[in-house]
Amino acid sequence: MGSLHPPRRFLFGPGPTQIEPRVYEAMSKPMVGYLDPFFFQVNEEVRTGLQQVFGTKNDLTLAISGTGSAGMEAAVSNFVDPGTKLLVFSAGYFAERIAEMGRRHGANLVRAEKPWGEVFTEAEAREAIEREKPQLVAFVHAETSTGALQPPRWITKPAHEAGALVIADCVTSLGATPIRVDESGIDMAFSCTQKGLSCPPGLAPFTVSPRAEERLRARKMANPVWYLDLKLLMEYYGSMRRYHHTAPVSNFYALREGLAAILEEGVEQRFDRHARMHRDFVRRIEAMGLKMHVTDPALRLPNLNTVRVPEGVDDQQVRRTLMAEHDIEIGAGFGPLAGKIFRIGVMGPLATPQGLDLFFGAFERSLAVAGASAARM
């Protein structure tokens, strides 16, 4: 079989994104056991680092084993009993995944829907909440399928006024875009490691507000998903240190190192860098005569840009050329946006002026190739 030699890509897609060398190095450090005091020290550093990037003082903040979807299923399975009225605000693919999980856990599921690329205003959220009277509300903060950023307060404010708890999917925002969980009034937030945190996939950062923790502790029914049962996970990661599962230790090392890099840069400085690179990105896109998919600049996700595919251009060919000739990965549109948008992540080590120069040089050439072949047809 020989040794493994993966190609070196520039990851300008929605994720996984580029990883710092120090994170790879951390992953190769010596293994320890899942009950080793050193592992718990790393886990505590991960917990406090996550509190800072989430913007929360929530005690119940942890990294769940599994990818972002494990975080999503943890949120749903720990807070949905059969018959719980769950209102999902849906304007993209990932909101529908939350709805599907809710359905499988027996929720009394209702949806509020908007076209892909839009967000819900506070008035729209309030109207849906007053109409449906849900116990639990879920929304996607950073909708990766559309590039739209839902302002959390527009949903949490009317939800709390109606006594509902709020789940937020922060899979694409954490580490690159402010979430400010406590100020935003989010009760359960989940994320992943392979996007804004610039780490490999494998863990799902998760945080629970004191109100939601109280609800969780009072829950009579055991979570039907044993692996994601937060009460059992609290016994493992908390002071009891009772074995639950074999934690993926190397992924914890990676996340700890990724968080250390973020804290060294400064959380706010990192958010500012992504915002600045996003503004430069949009300026350069518009200078090329292209258009962003999300029309309101204030509602665009800074670290994942969605750009309309120009008329007559085959988006697949552009992506193929970027990959074959420049080793650059970007994302395609899907669902109603298939063939209509490019999804371009500018995150972590690539969110720099040099990263943008690298991307735009290759993108302009790949668009020219696709444009020339469209003109020949």
- In angstroms, the Cα distances linking 57 to 110, 163, 307, 344, 368 are 31, 22, 36, 32, 50
172 or 184: whose CB is closer to ligand PLP? 172
For ligand PLP, the closer of residues 140 and 313 by Cβ is: 140
Task: Please state, as a whole number, how many other Cβ atoms lie within 10 Å of the Cβ of residue 208.
Answer: 29
Residue 14 beta carbon to ligand PLP: minimum distance, rounded to whole angstroms: 6
CB of 15 to ligand PLP, least distance (A): 6
Residue closer to ligand PLP, measured from CB, 52 or 67: 67
Chain residues that interact with ligand PLP, rule: CB under 6 A: 14-15, 67-69, 72, 94, 140, 144, 169, 171-172, 192, 201
Name the residue with the smallest CB distance to ligand PLP.
68
CB 190 to ligand PLP: min, Å? 8
112 vs 20: CA distance, rounded Å: 39
Structure tokens at 120: 């819900």
CB atoms near residue 166 (< 10 Å): 26
What's the CA gap between 331 and 273, in Å, rounded? 22
Closest CA to 121 of 167, 168, 157: 157
Find the radius of gyration of the CA atoms of the chain. Answer: 21
Other residues' Cβ atoms within 10 Å of the Cβ of residue 357: 11
In this complex, which beta carbon is closest to ligand PLP, that of residue 151 or of residue 201?
Answer: 201
* Shortest Cβ 194–ligand PLP spacing (Å): 6
Nearer to ligand PLP, 19 or 362 (CB): 19
d(CA 132, CA 159): 11
Residue 130 has φ and ψ, to the nearest 5°, of -65, -35
Closest contact distance (angstroms) between CB of 72 and ligand PLP is 6
Question: In whole angstroms, how close is the CB of 168 to ligand PLP at the nearest point?
Answer: 10
Rounded CA-CA distance 185/351 in Å is: 29
| 291/106 Cα distance (integer angstroms) | 41
**Smallest distance, Å, CB 203 to ligand PLP?**
10
- Output 72 or 137, the one with its CB closest to ligand PLP: 72
- 10-11 vs 328-329, strand pairing mode: parallel
Nearer to ligand PLP, 86 or 313 (CB): 86
Q: How far apart are CA 29 and CA 37, in angstroms?
A: 16
Mark 70-82 as b/e (b = at least 16 C-beta within 10 Å). bbbbbbbbbbbee
Give the nearer residue to ligand PLP in terms of CB position, either 181 or 362. 181
Name the minimum Å distance from CB 68 to ligand PLP: 3
